[in-house]
């Protein structure tokens, strides 16, 4: 009994598993993607199937006209009407426009309506067959077989509906066979049964393959979508600046190359924009504030009319491409409006941040991108010199100057600085006893040994060619060796560039150069321009403290040249200040200038700083400065820059 029970339980379990598998085989998926797939696959076939049924009904009704009772004929008419309505409702264009819930209901109704309609159609044909001749009954059997086959093909992707239709065609036939016990009908019944089973197996297999294709297609679609997203992300990373959302350097330059390759006439405009005061914002409010400024400036550039594209070249510099249809005046006007837009306050954490911008504008007439950038940068450099948000358009004069500068730059780059640099010295005089107490060294460079260039010309080349440190070494060494400040009892002033001041370890480097030349840091005054302190005030302060620790004296040069802040005199590690020559020129005629200079002199006394005024060219200027308490003066009135031999001769005459 136990064995029988085990076998029975095992058999029941097998049957249960078979039933579950069969249910899964006939289950239609209901996810949105599969619903759309079912609709797309079935909607093109179902109307044709109902058209076949409509044709069958009309053919049989006509064939049995006046043979079958009117009531049976009317049932056929009703079936024809239903077939027409159902076929029309399953048109792809109509059902494809329905929402998802309506599509699901349509699929669910199809299973029920399809089974009931097939059953009604089967019973109707069975009712007709009672009245017709043998030929008419054979026609019914033939139409049933064709219709069943057509239904199986049409509903291959709707296995549940196909099952209902198959049962509707098969069960009545089996019922009639069993009820009649007609052995002659057995072969036909078995054939019909085998055909139905075979078609259902084929439908199940087709549906399984359909599901697998759809799943594979969906996986492929997801993979393609993911690949497309990754490609887009990679493209953005390669072309978009992460901070501003504008094009990055590589992308904006490629856009410039692409536009120039078109060869359109006239060509577009290229502008370079650089922010003035951005460093102060970064140092004062932090990098988050600096980032907010860059983002805001980029947005303001993008909203300007005529801007084709813009990108961040790096730091606080942007490249902008303007519409080629703008003429020179219009392009300049657009840039001026942009400059005005940039200078509007930028609100960050409740604080209004302000920056200015300088813009260099150039219409490219060359195919070399680098050459175009060089010309736009030259215009930008002129704009930054003018200040106050200036806009400069590169013109013919700039082209000539650029060519000359390029020639001189090549000559400077290839020159031996020890052979091509000479120094001249302007005396510094104490007017109390009219004696030379010091001198300021000025460097001159010559490309050929005959024509000598001023520092304003060649120091920019020294920065551009990376030879600024070499220039500093040559100038400092030669000044010490030619003037021998300790031996002659004079203070020797040497200018230090902002680039030198920013170098790591500059205090140790200058001390080593001084000692190697036979000098002492205490005999030297290092002149620092105010602009060198503005780029990075905290770093500059640390560097000045390190220089003073080595024994150098520090002078704030050209004080009062337009960037002055009296707090610098208190906060910076200074030994003396040198007033700008523009103040010296105004002293005899401008009471305001005298008031300013008097205040600076009084403050310097209180802070223990020595005060020198530069640019004295007349006796009136010297007397006005002396009246304000300034005794140390420098300018053409006391002597023009000359050789070390001439300077030392003046020193010796004063001693004698």
Do 390 and 411 have their domain in common?
no
In a domain, 401, yes or no: no
Do residues 295 and 243 touch, judged by C-beta distance below 8 A?
Answer: yes
- Nearest CA-CA partner of 462 in 421, 514, 430: 421
356 has pLDDT over 70: yes
pLDDT tens-digit readout, 568-580: 677 788 999 999 8
Rounded distance, CA 625 to CA 612, Å? Answer: 10
Do 328 and 429 have their domain in common?
no
Per the confidence metrics, is the pTM higher than 0.75? no
Do residues 310 and 247 touch, judged by C-beta distance below 8 A?
Answer: yes
Do residues 372 and 362 touch, judged by C-beta distance below 8 A?
Answer: yes
In a domain, 6, yes or no: no
Contacts of 181 by beta carbon, 8 Å cutoff, 6+ apart: none
Max mean pLDDT among 11-15, 271-275, 455-459 falls in 271-275
Return the pLDDT at 613.
Answer: 92
Rounded distance, CA 181 to CA 175, Å? Answer: 10
Q: What is the CATH number of the domain that holds 307?
A: 3.30.70.270
Do 386 and 421 have their domain in common?
no
208 has pLDDT over 80: no
| 427 vs 6, higher pLDDT | 427
Return the pLDDT at 555.
Answer: 92
Do 387 and 418 have their domain in common?
no
Do 364 and 412 have their domain in common?
no
In a domain, 223, yes or no: no
Give the other-Cβ count within 10 Å of 272's Cβ: 23
Do 372 and 419 have their domain in common?
no
Q: Helix, strand or coil for residue 64?
A: coil
Rounded distance, CA 321 to CA 259, Å? Answer: 9
Do 461 and 578 have their domain in common?
yes
Cα 616-617-620 angle, rounded to 5 deg: 85
Do 101 and 65 have their domain in common?
yes
Q: How confident is the model at residue 538 (pLDDT cuts 50, 70, 90)?
A: confident
165 has pLDDT over 80: no
Rounded to 10 degrees, what is the CA torsion of 9, 14, 18, 23?
40
Do 83 and 40 have their domain in common?
yes
Q: What is the CATH number of the domain that holds 428?
A: 3.20.20.450
Q: Final residue of a domain: which of 394, 423, 452?
A: 394
pLDDT tens-digit readout, 578-614: 998 888 888 999 888 888 889 888 888 888 889 999 9
Do 202 and 254 have their domain in common?
no
311 has pLDDT over 90: yes
pLDDT tens-digit readout, 277-288: 888 888 788 889
In a domain, 357, yes or no: yes
pLDDT tens-digit readout, 634-646: 999 998 999 999 8
Return the pLDDT at 342.
Answer: 92
How would you label 368-385 residue by residue, b for 16+ Cβ within 10 Å and e otherwise?
A: eeeebbebbbbbbbbbbe
Do 93 and 209 have their domain in common?
yes
In a domain, 9, yes or no: no
Cα torsion 233, 237, 239, 245: sign: positive
Do 519 and 552 have their domain in common?
yes
- The helix (H) or strand (E) run that includes residue 215 is helix 186-239
Can you tell me the mean pLDDT for 136-147? 77
In a domain, 15, yes or no: no
Rounded distance, CA 283 to CA 271, Å? Answer: 27
User: To which residue do tokens 């399984």 refer?
Assistant: 208
In a domain, 233, yes or no: no
Q: Final residue of a domain: which of 171, 193, 215?
A: 215
First to last CA, the chain: 143
Q: Final residue of a domain: which of 329, 362, 394?
A: 394
Which residues span the domain enclosing 383?
Answer: 249-394
Rounded distance, CA 453 to CA 186, Å? Answer: 120
- The helix (H) or strand (E) run that includes residue 208 is helix 186-239
In this structure, what are the phi and psi dihedrals at residue 557, rounded to the nearest 5 degrees? -85, 150
What is the count of structural domains for the chain?
Answer: 3
Return the pLDDT at 2.
Answer: 42
Strands (E), 92-136: none
Give the other-Cβ count within 10 Å of 142's Cβ: 10
Mean pLDDT (the chain, rounded): 82
In a domain, 236, yes or no: no
In this structure, what are the phi and psi dihedrals at residue 313, rounded to the nearest 5 degrees? -80, -25
């Amino acid at each position: 009994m136990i064995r029988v029970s085990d076998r029975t339980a095992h058999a029941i379990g097998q049957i249960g598993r078979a039933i579950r598998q069969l249910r899964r085989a006939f289950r239609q998926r209901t996810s949105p993607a599969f619903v759309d797939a079912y609709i797309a696959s079935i909607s093109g076939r179902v109307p044709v199937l109902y058209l076949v049924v409509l044709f069958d009904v009309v053919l049989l009704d006509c064939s049995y006209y006046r043979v079958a009772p009117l009531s049976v004929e009317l049932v056929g008419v009703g079936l024809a009407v239903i077939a027409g309505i159902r076929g029309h409702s399953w048109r792809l264009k109509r059902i494809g426009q329905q929402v998802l819930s309506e599509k699901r209901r349509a699929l669910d109704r199809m299973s029920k309506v399809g089974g009931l309609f097939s059953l009604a159609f089967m019973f109707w044909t069975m009712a007709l067959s009672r009245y017709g001749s043998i030929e008419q009954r054979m026609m019914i059997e033939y139409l049933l077989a064709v219709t069943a086959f057509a239904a199986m093909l049409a509903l291959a992707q709707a296995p549940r509906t196909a099952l209902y239709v198959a049962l509707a065609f098969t069960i009545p036939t089996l019922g009639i066979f069993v009820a009649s016990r007609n052995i002659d009908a057995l072969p036909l019944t078995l054939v019909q049964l085998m055909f139905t089973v075979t078609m259902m197996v084929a439908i199940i297999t087709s549906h399984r393959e359909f599901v697998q294709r759809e799943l594979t297609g969906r996986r492929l679609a997801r993979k393609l979508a993911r690949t497309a997203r990754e490609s887009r992300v990679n493209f953005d990373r390669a072309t978009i600046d992460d901070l501003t959302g504008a094009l990055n350097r590589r992308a904006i330059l490629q856009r410039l190359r692409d536009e120039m390759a078109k060869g359109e006439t006239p060509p577009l405009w290229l502008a370079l924009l650089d922010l003035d005061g951005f460093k102060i914002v970064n140092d004062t409010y932090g990098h988050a504030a600096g980032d907010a400024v860059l983002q805001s400036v980029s947005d303001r550039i993008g909203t300007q009319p005529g801007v084709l594209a813009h990108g961040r070249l790096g730091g606080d510099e942007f490249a902008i491409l303007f519409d080629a249809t703008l003429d020179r005046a219009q392009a300049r006007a657009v840039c001026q409006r942009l400059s005005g837009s940039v200078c509007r306050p930028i609100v960050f954490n409740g604080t209004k941040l302000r920056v200015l911008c300088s813009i260099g504008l150039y219409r490219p007439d060359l195919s070399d991108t680098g050459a175009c950038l060089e010309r736009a940068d030259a215009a930008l450099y002129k704009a930054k010199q003018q200040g106050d948000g200036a806009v400069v358009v590169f013109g013919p004069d700039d082209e000539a100057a650029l060519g000359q500068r390029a020639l001189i730059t090549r000559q400077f780059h290839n020159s031996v600085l020890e052979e091509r640099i000479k120094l001249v010295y302007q005396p510094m005089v104490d007017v109390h006893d009219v004696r030379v107490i010091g001198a300021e060294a000025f460097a001159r460079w010559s490309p050929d040994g005959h024509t000598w260039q001023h520092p304003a010309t060649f120091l920019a080349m020294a920065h551009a060619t990376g030879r600024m440190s070499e220039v500093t070494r040559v100038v400092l060494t030669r000044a010490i060796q030619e003037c021998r400040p300790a031996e002659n009892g004079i203070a020797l002033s040497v200018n230090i560039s902002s680039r030198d001041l920013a170098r790591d370890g500059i205090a140790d480097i200058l001390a080593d150069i001084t000692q190697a030349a036979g000098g002492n840091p205490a005999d030297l005054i290092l002149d620092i321009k105010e602009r060198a302190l503005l780029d990075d005030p905290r770093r500059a302060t640390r560097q000045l403290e390190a220089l003073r620790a080595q024994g150098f004296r520090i002078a704030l040069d050209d004080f009062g040249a337009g960037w002055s802040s009296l707090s610098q005199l208190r906060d910076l590690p200074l030994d003396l200040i040198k007033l700008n020559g523009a103040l010296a020129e105004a002293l005899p005629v401008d009471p305001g200038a005298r008031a300013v200079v008097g205040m600076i002199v009084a403050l310097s006394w209180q802070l223990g700083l020595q005060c020198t005024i530069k640019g004295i060219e007349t006796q009136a200027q010297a007397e006005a400065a002396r009246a304000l308490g300034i005794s140390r003066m420098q300018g053409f009135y006391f002597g023009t820059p000359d050789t070390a031999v001439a300077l030392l001769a003046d020193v010796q005459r004063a001693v004698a």
